[in-house]
Amino acid sequence: MEYRSQTARQRELGLRIADGALAAALFWLGVALRFGDLQAENPSYFDHYLRLAQWLGIFWLLLGWVGQPYRMSVGVELRLMLLRFLRQTGLLLALTALLVVSLKTYVYSRVFLVGFFSAYLALGALLRVAVVHLGRQRFRRGIGLVAVQGLGQSPMWSFIARELADRPDYGYRWLGAVDRLEDLDAQCSELWLSPDRVLAELDAAETRGLRLRVVPDLAALPASRTQWTSLGNVLLLDWRLEPLASGWAPGIKRVLDVLGSALALVVLAPLMAFIALWVSLGSRGPILFSQPRYGYRGEKFTIWKFRSMDGQADPDLQAVPGDARVLHPWLRRSHLDELPQLWNVLRGDMSLVGPRPHMASDTQRYADAVRGYGIRHWVRPGITGLAQARGLHGFADQAAMTERVKADVYYVEHWSVALDLKIMLATLLRARGWV
């Protein structure tokens, strides 16, 4: 369950009411601007729009309950709120279109519907920007913060103190930790307990009307994001979030990979033919270079490239800047040698975006040296990835390799279609600051 404060629930309710009022106001304002005083001039036509308003209200309430677009988590991200709102509005539009078609009537003005949904989308997004911005400003000024205090001995208290000091937008004010319930600050409204003190202090704390939260010691957890889930009556802690592990996400990513790679192979076919001719005329040896790599779930596959090195060169020896074995340096610098990997994407060995697959000779060495290396294999390897978009590619020592793996793990935990698009654009435009 996502962790929210009491004030977060109040802000969610306020946003829900404001959003509903905005939708209603825009609907009837649109009717007035489009038709004038419709109720007086054409009551029967007005009834059609009254019924449409009622159906829109039902759809809006349903989507607001099912999709939870008003949920404001601790440290709410504006991007996520806007994505939820976009999804909510898209579903609302789809349901409205389905309703209009099912009624088999043409009484509803297309101009009105387009104007209403466009205005709602624009002003609803501005409303959310304003709510998030004002909430953050309020908390930074110390207004509306929930006063919390720790009870017991825990190495987490110092971590929590730093986190809440750095992120006042969480909405909490840390009062420190004490060893006895009697020493609590009078302003304390939430008590955070170390696990060993829960049973001993539960009754006394709730007698005082304090809200209790248990803080397990997860300071040593090597993951940037965790999530509690339940298996019946058993509570489980997922150490890392995997957006691509369930739901529609794997299918969506695969469809985009197939469509993107197929389109790219057709569009880039003349360029690939030119590169093949260049390699063939410029050096002896095969046009394509193949090599085994480790991919999804650590399984081996054959990766394809245009050959840019001497055909007799050791394929397991990583090329370095100025390497004499490289016969077509422009091909490597431009990364055009990797275009045949579009075929790997189409086959399902790779993805357009994902952690770059390393040579088999490097995989075990890096796995032994860099913590969390195997997490890269939870997703398909990519033609480009977050590390490459940030400029972390080419020959690397262990320190540089660690940064690469951190970027790859971040990608695994934070995947989204938007992130894939940003990585592809950043790679093509060499805009490292974008991601």
Structural domain harbouring 358: 249-434
Q: Is the model more confident about 40 or about 396?
A: 40
Beta strand 288-294 with 234-238 is: unpaired
Q: Residue 368 CB: number of other CB atoms within 10 A?
A: 8
pLDDT of residue 184: 86
Instruction: Let me know if 227 is exposed, middle or buried by CB neighbors in 10 A (0-12, 13-18, 19+).
Output: middle
Containing 289, the helix (H) or strand (E) segment is strand 288-294
Does residue 60 form part of some domain? yes
Domain ends where: 112, 140, 168? 140
Q: Check the CA dihedral 143-146-149-154 and report its sign.
A: negative
pLDDT of residue 29: 93
Q: Check the CA dihedral 220-80-84-435 and report its sign.
A: negative
Instruction: Let me know if 416 is exposed, middle or buried by CB neighbors in 10 A (0-12, 13-18, 19+).
Output: middle
Beta strands in 103-238 (DSSP E): 146-151, 172-178, 190-193, 211-214, 227-231, 234-238
Token reading at 342: 């579009």
Does residue 44 form part of some domain? yes
Q: Do 210 and 329 have their domain in common?
A: no
Q: Do 390 and 407 have their domain in common?
A: yes
In whole angstroms, what is the distance from residue 203 CA to residue 324 CA?
75
Closest residue by Cα to residue 258 from 362, 394, 349, 336: 349
Does residue 241 form part of some domain? no
DSSP 389-425: HTT--SS--HHHHHHHHHHHHHHHHH--HHHHHHHHH
- Report residue 373 CA to chain centroid gap: 21
Q: Are 147 and 173 contacting, i.e. CB atoms less than 8 angstroms apart?
A: yes
Q: Are 408 and 386 contacting, i.e. CB atoms less than 8 angstroms apart?
A: yes
pLDDT of residue 121: 93
Does residue 233 form part of some domain? no
Could you report the per-residue pLDDT of 109-155, keeping only the tens digit for each?
Answer: 888 999 999 999 999 999 999 988 888 888 888 887 888 899 888 88
Q: Do 111 and 202 have their domain in common?
A: no
pLDDT of residue 53: 92
Domain ends where: 140, 157, 185? 140
Does residue 323 form part of some domain? yes
Q: Do 274 and 358 have their domain in common?
A: yes
User: Can you tell me the mean pLDDT for 345-361?
Assistant: 91
Lowest mean pLDDT among 14-28, 66-80, 167-181, 373-387: 66-80
Q: Are 426 and 434 contacting, i.e. CB atoms less than 8 angstroms apart?
A: yes
pLDDT of residue 232: 66
Domain ends where: 140, 166, 194? 140
pLDDT of residue 363: 78
What mean pLDDT is reported for the chain?
Answer: 83
Q: Do 191 and 283 have their domain in common?
A: no
Q: Do 383 and 400 have their domain in common?
A: yes
Q: Do 164 and 107 have their domain in common?
A: no
Q: Do 37 and 133 have their domain in common?
A: yes
pLDDT of residue 48: 86
pLDDT of residue 3: 47
Could you report the per-residue pLDDT of 288-345, keeping only the tens digit for each?
Answer: 988 999 999 889 999 999 888 765 665 556 655 666 566 767 887 888 989 999 999 9
In whole angstroms, what is the distance from residue 386 CA to residue 404 CA?
8
User: Can you tell me the mean pLDDT for 195-222?
Assistant: 73
Does residue 30 form part of some domain? yes
Does residue 234 form part of some domain? no
Looking at the structure of the chain, the number of domains it has is 3
pLDDT of residue 2: 46
The CATH number assigned to the domain holding 163 equals 3.40.50
User: Can you tell me the mean pLDDT for 415-435?
Assistant: 86
18 φ/ψ sector (left φ>0, alpha ψ -120 to 50, else beta): alpha
Q: Do 157 and 97 have their domain in common?
A: no
Q: Do 213 and 267 have their domain in common?
A: no
Q: Do 255 and 386 have their domain in common?
A: yes
Q: Are 117 and 93 contacting, i.e. CB atoms less than 8 angstroms apart?
A: yes
User: Can you tell me the mean pLDDT for 78-84?
Assistant: 83
Beta strands in 321-396 (DSSP E): 351-353, 382-384
Could you report the per-residue pLDDT of 154-190, keeping only the tens digit for each?
Answer: 888 888 888 888 888 777 889 999 888 888 888 888 8
In whole angstroms, what is the distance from residue 26 CA to residue 150 CA?
47
User: Can you tell me the mean pLDDT for 257-280?
Assistant: 94
Q: Is the model more confident about 435 or about 74?
A: 435
Does residue 225 form part of some domain? no
pLDDT of residue 329: 76
Q: Do 213 and 92 have their domain in common?
A: no
